[in-house]
Amino acid sequence: MDEYITKILSFIALFTMLQHYLPPQLHDMLMLWYKSLNAYFNPPAYELDVPEFKDNSGVSSKDLYDSVQQYLASLEGIAVRQTAFRAKNSCSVCFSPANDEDVEDFFQGVRLRWKHTAESVQNDIYYERRSFTLILPKTDKRFLSDYINHITRRAEDFSRENKELALYTNTLEALYGEGWTGVPFKHSSTLATMALDPSLKDKILMDLDRFKQGKELYKRIGRSWKRGYLLYGPPGTGKSSLIAAIANHRKYDVYDLELTRVKNNMQLRALLTQTKEKSVIVIEDIDCSLQLTDRVSRASHTDEEDEKRSSNVTLSGMLNFTDGLWSCCGEERIIVFTTNHKDMLDPALLRSGRMDMKILLSFCTFPQFKSLASNYLQIDDHTLFPVVEEKIRSGAEMTPAEIIEILMNKMYHPDEALGDLISALDAKKSERDASLTSQSALCEGEGGSCCSLIFLSSMTRK
């Protein structure tokens, strides 16, 4: 390769010496060839500036600058000199090129170069004018548009991965633009460590990942980019932990909506429209937060009775945000309802399209127990595991929270922890059998009219 370059350079030197002696036609032809050859080996460099501010006043921030900064921080290649920075709401320190440093990038087979510059400016006030400069070999607008979109998406993903999550609760000032107050959200629950039935865990993960990629799909089918989950089951089965795991998996902020503090539908709309995109909106214990389960009886309430209640939020007001006109206010939201008593909810709340997934979190199964034993006792197998499995399969019902309490008391003594758990399972089984026997005797005393109900209830628990 070096030999060819040497010959070309020698020819160019010879051409420069002889160009005064060549005929005009040959001279013009060789000059055209020379320019083409020079452009091939030394392509012109075009520059695109991305300033930190839109003007020289230093007031109006430009989002694209922040996106480029985070994008460059996500690249594998780094500059010799770097500047450490912490993006807004970030939980980690990132690094970008320092002043006059270059970073190389490739996109669609094109080699690109970014340079960071910082210039001191003295007007009425002293400030530093910073900008990123993109140096590229062509100025195709479509290429630039695709590249900028690529930068924005990559920066959003990078920002989300390093985001410090927040947990918000509603205040009483919803109508004045200050309806939420927040604290850092540092719940450690994850879908990887949470004790869930493996098939249920896979189903939830698949749904969340599909939802992440669903922007174009939701737009094409004409639906708001949101997802509705109903978590139901006995207390202590992990509903709140699952919400935290979903938020950590998707890197979403959590808005815990306390309905009893919301006065009416207008305040509810104001609160929900103040929530940010990429968030989980949680309404726990929906069956007892408000009187939303009986629309007929609510219609018969007098004005005096309405005034006595702390909240006048209606079921229709709630549903209007889940899938009505107000559901389009914001994108990429997951709305989660929880209840201990699914059968007490109004059927309108459970209708298809409002609750996309109905997730039953019930008593602990043996696969869930094994996950808990791995987390708390740090064991994957034990001679007492078959005994625990037999107790659970025979109908001993304990919630994950009850089992966790036993395991934590003997975390460093697995034999004792499992022995205590087996005793607790025996007690639960005896208690359940005694309850069924008592109910059966009561039914027999009443002519057996409710025996079928007891049988169905027993089958449901299993």
Task: Assess whether pLDDT exceeds 50 at residue 455.
Answer: no
pLDDT of residue 4: 55
Q: Which pLDDT tens digit goes with each residue over 89-131?
A: 666 677 777 777 888 888 888 888 888 888 777 666 666 778 8
Task: Assess whether pLDDT exceeds 60 at residue 308.
Answer: no
Task: Assess whether pLDDT exceeds 70 at residue 462.
Answer: no
Provide mean pLDDT across the span 261-280. Answer: 86
Provide mean pLDDT across the span 2-16. Answer: 61
- From the list 104, 107, 114, 99, the residue with the least C-alpha distance to 47 is 114
Least confident range of 213-217, 279-283, 321-325, 441-445: 441-445
Among 12-16, 38-42, 214-218, 370-374, which range has the highest average pLDDT? Answer: 370-374
pLDDT of residue 216: 76
- From the list 391, 393, 458, the residue with the least C-alpha distance to 425 is 391
Whether the predicted model's global pTM rises above the 0.85 cut: no
Q: Which pLDDT tens digit goes with each residue over 64-82?
A: 888 888 888 888 766 667 7
Distance of alpha carbon 334 from alpha carbon 152, whole angstroms:
23
Provide mean pLDDT across the span 411-430. Answer: 92
pLDDT of residue 109: 84
Least confident range of 13-27, 363-377, 390-404: 13-27
pLDDT of residue 295: 47
- Residue spans per domain, the chain: 2-41, 46-161, 166-360, 366-461
Q: Which pLDDT tens digit goes with each residue over 336-391?
A: 999 998 888 888 788 776 788 999 999 999 999 999 999 999 999 999 999 999 99
Task: Assess whether pLDDT exceeds 80 at residue 439.
Answer: no
Q: Are 292 and 317 in contact (CB under 8 A)?
A: no
Assign 19 a pLDDT band (cuts: 50, 70, 90).
low
Taking domain 166-360, whether its CATH number is 3.50.50.60 is answered by no
167 three-state secondary structure: strand
Q: Residue 227's beta-bridge partner residues?
A: 334
pLDDT of residue 460: 43
pLDDT of residue 243: 95
SS (H, E, C) 38-61: HHHHCCCCEEEEEECECCCCCCCE
Assign 175 a pLDDT band (cuts: 50, 70, 90).
low
Distance of alpha carbon 184 from alpha carbon 411, whole angstroms:
29
Task: Assess whether pLDDT exceeds 90 at residue 429.
Answer: no
Residue indicated by tokens 């004409």: 222
Q: Which pLDDT tens digit goes with each residue over 25-38?
A: 666 666 666 656 65
Crossing angle for the helix pair 239-250 and 198-212, to the nearest 10 degrees:
40
Provide mean pLDDT across the span 204-230. Answer: 83
Among 1-10, 255-264, 403-412, which range has the highest average pLDDT? Answer: 403-412
Task: Assess whether pLDDT exceeds 90 at residue 198.
Answer: no
pLDDT of residue 204: 94
Assign 252 a pLDDT band (cuts: 50, 70, 90).
very high
pLDDT of residue 376: 92
Task: State whether the Cα torsion 341-347-348-351 is positive or negative.
Answer: positive
pLDDT of residue 8: 60
pLDDT of residue 361: 93
Q: Are 223 and 328 in contact (CB under 8 A)?
A: no
Q: Are 204 and 189 in contact (CB under 8 A)?
A: no
pLDDT of residue 420: 94
pLDDT of residue 240: 92
Distance of alpha carbon 438 from alpha carbon 454, whole angstroms:
11
Provide mean pLDDT across the span 272-296. Answer: 75
